[in-house]
Structure 1
Amino acid sequence: MSFVMILAAFGGGVFGALIGGTTSFVFTGFLGLAGAATAVASGSTLILDSVAFGPFFGPHVAFVGGVAAAGYAGRISKKRLENAEFLTNPVNAKTVLGDHSDKDKIFAEDDRHVDGADVTVPLFKTTDPMVLLVGGVFGILGVLVEYVFSSIWEIPIDTVALTVVTFAIITRYVFGTSGLTGIFPKNEKRFPFTGKMLLFNAIWGFALSGLVGYTAITLGVDNIGFSISATSLIFLYFGLKFPVSHHVSMVAGHAAIALSSPWLAALFGLFAVITGEYVQRLFNTHVDTHVDMPAITIAFWSFIILGVIAPFI
């Protein structure tokens, strides 16, 4: 780990905050596809290792930076709006701020409001230097921790996903107020799933994972499906009801390469899609920072595949 890598990670975290965590992740998908094509054509994984999953667009750097920066910006926005609401009471406002209270000025800044759980929004709009610095610092921490997980401790898991989960939880406790599992209204079920809904998800999860497993084995690239799924998130920006599927395709890719079976890839992809539904409701609903459902799902099932099953095959 060099100082140049740390500098690059700081830039990746800042850029992830600047353009938004999800936007940076879409770029991960595009560069992942380019890297996969290069790897198949020439055998070089340089684009995959150094760009798509390196300090530029690696989720453990750019996405982690974007998530942390959004959490920080959301906390600042919440305080600003609380101040604006407080100033609607002229008696209290005069007591605290004197005759120079300016409620209209605070309301005029509402265009900079950020929902800390929304990582699709580019934080460029905040024009807040601290937002970028938070992104950069978390980018550095992300690359360092992923290095520890993968190269020092050598944990048999998808260490990028594990790093994303680690810093999402840290972000929640540092900048959030909703607790790890959110604050649900009393009249709302935490897991309102029907058999039909779960069957629908199981079908597309199984089918997609079988396809991903076949493709991953054919090309010898475990993250080809992941890159396609990441790229497809661009359609969310058009307001479409579009599936988030990269947890399914990455788990399938791990299973396909580690276990050499598209059938097992399809099976584990089915497990991943159902797991994801419960994880989303448990950790990322009614919250004020983002805890990434796909990263939790990938981390869990990759450990089962790589750490529990693969060593015995």
Structure 2
Amino acid sequence: MSLVAILAAFGGGVFGALIGGTTAFIFTGFLGMAGVAAAVAAGSTLILDYVAFGPFFGPHVAFVGAVAAAAYAGRISKKHLESATFIDNPVNARTILGDHEDKDKIFAEDDRHVDGADTTVPLFKTTDPMVLIVGGIFGILGYFVEYLYGPILGIPIDTIALTVVTFAIITRFLFGHSGLTGIFPTDEKRFPFSGKMLLFNAIWGFAFAGLVGYAAIALDIDNIGFTISAASLIFLYFGLKFPVSHHVSMVAGHAAIALASPWLAALFGLFAVITGEYVQRLFNTHVDTHIDMPAIVIAFWSFIVLGVIAPFI
């Protein structure tokens, strides 16, 4: 690890905050697909190692930085709301806030508002230097911790996902007020899942994971499905109800390569998609910072595959 790499990680965290975590992650997908193509065609993993999953767009750098920056910006936004300093005229502030119960809705209309749990919004709009600095600092920390988990400790797990989870939890307690598992209304079920909905998810999770397993084994590349899933999130920006699937494809990729079976990849993909539904409701619903559901699912099931099952096969 060099000073240049640390500089790059700072830049990755700043750029992730600037354009938004989800946007940075979509770039991970597109650059990842280019890297897979280069690896298959020329045997070079430089794009994968140094760009898609390195300090440029690696989720442990760019996404971690963006999540922390959004949480920080969201906390600052709430402070502005409480003091009504976002309205230039104090008289208007008293009038507007006095006539509306939903102060968050009023504040959301101001361009300086940031939802700390929203990773889709580019934080360029804040024009706040500290937002970018927070992103850069967390980018460096993410780079260090992933290096600790991987090359130094050699934990048999997806170390990028584990790093994302680590800093999401740190960010939640550092900048958030909703607690680890959110603040649910008393009249709302935490897990309102029907059998039909779970079956629907199980079918697409199993089928998609089997497809990913087939491709991963054919190319001998575990993250081929992950890069496609990441890039596909661009359709969310068109307002479509589009599936988030990279937890399924990455778990399937790990299982396919480690266990040499597309059938087991399909099975673990089914496990991943169902687990994801519960994790999303448990850690990322009614919250004020983002804890990434796919990262939790990938970290958990990759450890089961790589750390528990694979050593005995």
Q: Distance in 1 between matches of 2:148 and 2:52?
A: 19
Deviation by residue 1:186-244 (Cα, 9 ceiling, x = unmatched): 00000000000000000000000000000000011100000000000000001100000
* Structure 2 counterpart SS, 1:110: coil
1:86–1:236: structure 2 CA closer, same or farther, 3 Å change rule? closer
Residue 16 of structure 2: aligned partner: 16
Residue 229 of structure 1: aligned partner: 229
Q: Distance in 2 between matches of 1:86 and 1:49?
A: 43
Q: Distance in 1 between matches of 2:109 and 2:185?
A: 30
Residue 63 of structure 2: aligned partner: 63
Q: Distance in 1 between matches of 2:210 and 2:108?
A: 52
- Alpha carbon RMSD of aligned pairs, Å? 1.8
Residue 127 of structure 1: aligned partner: 127
Deviation by residue 1:3-44 (Cα, 9 ceiling, x = unmatched): 111000000000000000000000000000000000001111
Percent identity for Structure 1 against Structure 2: 83
Question: Deviation of residue 59 (structure 1)?
Answer: 0.1
Q: Distance in 1 between matches of 2:207 and 2:51?
A: 30
* Structure 2 counterpart SS, 1:155: coil
Residue 150 of structure 2: aligned partner: 150
Residue 100 of structure 1: aligned partner: none
Moved more, 260-269 or 76-85: 76-85
Q: Distance in 2 between matches of 1:221 and 1:151?
A: 20
* Structure 2 counterpart SS, 1:72: helix
CA contact (8 A) 2:86 2:110 kept: no
Q: Distance in 1 between matches of 2:85 and 2:192?
A: 34
Name the aligned partner's letter for residue 217 of structure 1. I
Question: Deviation of residue 83 (structure 1)?
Answer: 1.2
Name the aligned partner's letter for residue 159 of structure 1. T
Name the aligned partner's letter for residue 15 of structure 2. F
Equivalent residue runs for 1:130-279 within 5 Å: 130-279=130-279
1:187–1:107: structure 2 CA closer, same or farther, 3 Å change rule? closer
Question: Deviation of residue 109 (structure 1)?
Answer: 8.7
Name the aligned partner's letter for residue 197 of structure 1. M
Q: Distance in 2 between matches of 1:201 and 1:45?
A: 33
CA contact (8 A) 2:80 2:86 kept: no
Question: Deviation of residue 110 (structure 1)?
Answer: 1.6
Q: Distance in 2 between matches of 1:141 and 1:271?
A: 31
Q: Distance in 1 between matches of 2:240 and 2:297?
A: 24
Unaligned runs of 5+ in 1: 94-105
Question: Deviation of residue 108 (structure 1)?
Answer: 11
Q: Distance in 2 between matches of 1:247 and 1:112?
A: 32
Q: Distance in 1 between matches of 2:250 and 2:112?
A: 35
Q: Distance in 2 between matches of 1:40 and 1:86?
A: 53
Question: Deviation of residue 81 (structure 1)?
Answer: 1.2
Q: Distance in 2 between matches of 1:5 and 1:16?
A: 16
Question: Deviation of residue 89 (structure 1)?
Answer: 8.5
Q: Distance in 2 between matches of 1:300 and 1:112?
A: 37
Deviation by residue 1:115-145 (Cα, 9 ceiling, x = unmatched): 0000000000000000000000000000000
Residue 100 of structure 2: aligned partner: none
Name the aligned partner's letter for residue 247 of structure 1. H
Q: Distance in 2 between matches of 1:71 and 1:38?
A: 36
Residue 81 of structure 1: aligned partner: 81
Name the aligned partner's letter for residue 25 of structure 1. F
Name the aligned partner's letter for residue 219 of structure 1. L
Residue 26 of structure 1: aligned partner: 26
Name the aligned partner's letter for residue 10 of structure 1. F
Unaligned runs of 5+ in 2: 95-105
Q: Distance in 1 between matches of 2:207 and 2:167?
A: 32
Q: Distance in 1 between matches of 2:22 and 2:111?
A: 20
- What's the TM-score, normalizing by structure 1? 0.93
Q: Distance in 2 between matches of 1:117 and 1:130?
A: 18
